[in-house]
């Protein structure tokens, strides 16, 4: 009798260990999507995934190789509020490498005082190839190592870099929504335009940031003030495809159309759309799409579909695919061979589009394996 009771107890415990996780996966999660809008937003934006107690004021500590500053950008007059309050964004401004070296030498020699916030704002319109406004993907913040490495590489090409944390990310106040992130993008872009009126301004988006950039640049194009060029790194074509192909959706894919009704449609109903393939057709400036063939988060075929949508609409677009043997995956394209040359050629083409003799529009696809 004792052995039977023990066996029954083991079976019961095994049953609970097997069934409870499945119940949470297939019952609790869909139920939360149906009943708790905040859960839906958090599940997509992952803004709660962060390192606590970070010091955002010390750029050098986080690996920034050039002079830069941390500052706060209040969204005065914001239309998309967070519980009735205007959000305040955390921002980094990294100086171009050549300008940074010169200023560091002057400060060290005692011929110039350390830079003030006013100095940095004035310098945004000085000695550079332009300004790159960077929009990161979901989770963590502007201090992430792969993002910092990209800032350094862009600064090495003599660009100013403005990197924001959207509302609810990093040290920015508020909480995210698609409309909110788009408004954040407008505020930092307007900040750059106001303080660098003689400089070319470029937009760079990575992962989720490509969805922000695609819509944001489409809106700028409608307003007649598009950036000089846009770079989309590891992008997706639309919300449905990126969600259904994400590794975390694998347990639900067998549900088929019911997965769309339970998960994807609920996101759309909550205001999360991110149909980049519909928005990119409005872009009025050259576009560069970068994707790795071994991207394990956003399959490369989704970036290719976005390229095809832009090409079909007559957008000036170049698609660069880095082969799997390079091991760049989802967030290491900044380490790609020849990236500096690819960017130099793209930025030069963008500059040519600002002249009266614009080059013929192109639709180019390139594969790089070494």
Give the predicted TM-score (pTM) of the model.
Answer: 0.91
Alpha-carbon separation of residue 217 from 56, 101, 136, 230 (angstroms): 28, 33, 15, 8
Domain annotation covers residue 54: yes
State mean pLDDT over 141-158.
Answer: 98
Residue 262 to residue 168: CA distance in whole angstroms: 26
In percent, the amount of the chain with pLDDT more than 90 equals 74
Domain annotation covers residue 294: yes
pLDDT band at 245 (very low <50, low <70, confident <90, very high): confident
Domain annotation covers residue 116: yes
Domain annotation covers residue 370: no
Q: What order do you get walking across the sheet with 131-135 strand by strand? A: 68-74, 88-94, 160-165, 131-135, 201-206, 229-233, 287-292, 317-322, 363-368
CATH of the domain at 94: 3.40.50.1820
Number of folded domains in the chain?
1
H or E element that contains 5:
helix 2-23
Q: What is the pLDDT of residues 283-322, one digit of tens each?
A: 999 999 999 999 999 999 999 999 999 999 999 999 999 9
- Which DSSP string do the residues of 270-338 spell out, in sequence order? TT----HHHHGGG--S-EEEEEETT-SSS-HHHHHHHHHHHHHTT--EEEEEE-GGG--TTT-GGG-TT
Task: Say which residue, 20 or 335, is predicted with more confidence.
Answer: 335
Residue 326 to residue 293: CA distance in whole angstroms: 9
Domain annotation covers residue 41: no
Domain annotation covers residue 67: yes
Residue 357 to residue 198: CA distance in whole angstroms: 19
Active site residues: 207, 295, 330
Predicted confidence (pLDDT) at residue 182 exceeds the cutoff of 50: yes
Domain annotation covers residue 34: no
Q: What range does the domain containing 316 cover?
A: 47-352
Residue 66 to residue 288: CA distance in whole angstroms: 26
Domain annotation covers residue 326: yes
Those residues whose C-beta lies under 8 Å from the C-beta of residue 183, and which sit 6 or more positions away, are 75, 78, 79, 80
């Amino acid at each position: 009798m004792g052995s039977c009771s023990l066996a029954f107890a083991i079976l019961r415990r095994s049953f609970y260990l097997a069934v409870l996780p499945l119940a949470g996966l297939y019952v609790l999660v869909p139920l939360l999507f149906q009943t708790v809008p905040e859960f839906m937003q958090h599940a997509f934006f992952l803004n709660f995934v962060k390192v606590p107690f970070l010091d955002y004021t010390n750029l050098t500590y986080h690996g920034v190789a050039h002079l830069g500053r941390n500052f706060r950008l209040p969204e005065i007059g914001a239309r998309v509020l967070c519980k009735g309050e205007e959000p305040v964004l955390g921002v980094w401004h990294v100086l171009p490498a050549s300008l940074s070296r010169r200023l560091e030498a002057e400060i060290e020699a005692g011929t110039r005082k350390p830079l003030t916030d006013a100095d940095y704002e004035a310098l945004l319109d000085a000695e550079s190839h332009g300004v790159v406004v960077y929009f990161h993907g979901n989770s963590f913040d502007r201090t992430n190592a792969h993002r910092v490495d990209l800032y350094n590489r862009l600064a090495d090409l003599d660009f100013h870099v403005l990197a924001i944390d959207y509302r609810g990310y990093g040290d920015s106040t508020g909480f995210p929504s698609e409309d909110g992130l788009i408004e954040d993008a407008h505020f930092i872009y307007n900040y750059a335009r106001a303080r660098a009126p003689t400089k070319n301004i470029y937009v760079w988006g990575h992962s989720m940031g490509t969805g922000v950039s695609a819509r944001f640049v489409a809106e700028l194009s409608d307003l007649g003030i598009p950036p000089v060029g846009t770079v989309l790194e590891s992008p997706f074509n639309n919300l449905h495809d990126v969600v259904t192909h994400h590794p975390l959706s694998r347990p639900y894919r067998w549900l088929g159309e019911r997965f769309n009704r339970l998960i994807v449609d609920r996101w759309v109903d909550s205001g999360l759309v991110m149909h980049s393939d519909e928005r990119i057709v409005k872009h009025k400036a050259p576009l560069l799409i970068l994707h790795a063939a071994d991207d394990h988060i956003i399959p490369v075929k989704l970036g290719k579909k976005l390229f095809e949508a832009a090409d079909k609409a007559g957008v000036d677009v170049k698609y660069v695919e880095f082969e799997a043997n390079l091991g760049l995956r989802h967030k290491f394209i900044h380490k790609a061979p020849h990236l500096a040359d690819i960017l130099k050629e793209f930025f030069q083409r963008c500059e040519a589009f600002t002249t009266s003799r614009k080059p013929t529009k192109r639709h180019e696809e390139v594969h790089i394996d070494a």
